[in-house]
Amino acid sequence: MSTEGQAAPAAEVVTPAPGAAAPETAAPEAQQPEKTFTQKELDEILEKRLAKERRKRSEKEEEIRVLRRLALDRGEAPPKKETPAPSEDREPVRGDFEDYAEFNAALSSYRAGKTTKAILQKDKEESAEKQRQEEARKAGETFRSRLKENAKGIEDFDDVMAGISPDSAVAKLPADPINAADNPAKILHHLATHPEEAERIASLPMGQQAREIWKLDATLSATKPPEKKPSAAPAPINPIGGGKSTPAGEMPDPNTDQKGWMAWRNSQVRAGKAKPA
């Protein structure tokens, strides 16, 4: 009798008898402790991964070579990927190079160039700074020499300059127009002894300060220094005979001052203190 088209019998459901123990379920496996690796094992794992990557790269390069040969056999010129020249502004990246050796060489060249450029820039800046310092030193020596020469005839110049405080108006004036003036010492002395004028100039904008300093320089250049007045004190009296002076009343030495001795002797005779010879 054919059973085709009949439904398959339902699976029999087994119901445990009352009082019967339920079938035991499998207990979950205990959690295994985390495996630790020694340094040697880690090195071996890393080496295997690197070897795998090298094989992949070698296979890829071989595939590229085969495709190029096939293109050449068909008379086609395969497109060649140009290797970018090292740029000073951009570090080479691996994706720009087909060959790893070319990438490594470009990266090394880029980094070496950056290092060399940094060293050369530092040397250039240090050399420029040394040159500025040397020029400032020479300019300072030249100015001090001019100041010393220009200060001749100003008797209290050193005392007046020593009295200028860092907070004074004179100290706040721009140095360049004073250095370029014909009479730097006279300008400094004049402004130090006329603080109200120094305050006025210091309160002006920088350009006007320079103009006022140069105007003062021209005024001082046209002003002649005051002439020294002759002393009103009487001229010193020369002793008789022009010899060595002797205190009044004391007998001169006749061996060294004969005329003086004679004058002293005559005065003694006139006074009656000595008898004539």
Q: Round to whole Å and give the CA distance between 184 and 137.
A: 18
Give how far the C-alpha of residue 261 lies from the chain's centroid of Cα atoms, to the nearest Å: 80
**CA 221 to CA 211: how far, in whole Å?**
15
Q: Is the pLDDT of residue 97 over 70?
A: yes
Give the pLDDT band (50/70/90) at residue 34.
Answer: low
Contact 275/269 with Cβ under 8 angstroms? yes
Distance CA 142, CA 209 (A): 23
5 pLDDT tier (thresholds 50, 70, 90): very low
| Cα gap 138→64, rounded to integer Å | 69
Q: What single-letter amino acid sits at 221?
A: S
Q: From 134, 202, 129, select the one nearest 167 (Cα to Cα).
A: 202
- Read off the pLDDT of residues 193-218 as tens digits, 9 standing for 90 and up: 999 999 999 999 988 999 999 999 99
In the predicted model, what is the mean pLDDT of the chain?
75
SS3 state at 228? coil
Residue 260 above 90 pLDDT? Answer: no
CA distance 6 to 175: 119
Q: What is the DSSP letter of 154?
A: -
Buried b (16+ CB within 10 A) or exposed e, 63-84: eeeeeeeeeeeeeeeeeeeeee
Cα-based angle 259, 240, 248 (whole degrees, multiple of 5): 100
Report percent pLDDT > 70 for the chain. 68
Alpha helices, DSSP H, located in the chain: 39-73, 100-150, 157-162, 169-172, 175-180, 184-193, 195-202, 206-222, 258-270
pLDDT in the model for residue 120: 86
Region 249-273: mean pLDDT is 75
Structure tokens, 40: 């040697």
Q: What is the C-alpha separation between 238 and 229, in angstroms, rounded?
A: 24
Average of per-residue pLDDT across 225-247: 52
**pLDDT tier at 263, thresholds 50, 70, 90:** confident
Cα-Cα-Cα-Cα dihedral sign, residues 255, 259, 264, 267: positive
Convert the pLDDT of each residue in 158-175 to its tens digit. 999 998 998 999 999 998
* Per-residue pLDDT at 41: 75
Question: Residue 231 CA to chain centroid, in angstroms?
Answer: 58
- At residue 112 the predicted structure's pLDDT band, cuts being 50, 70 and 90, is confident
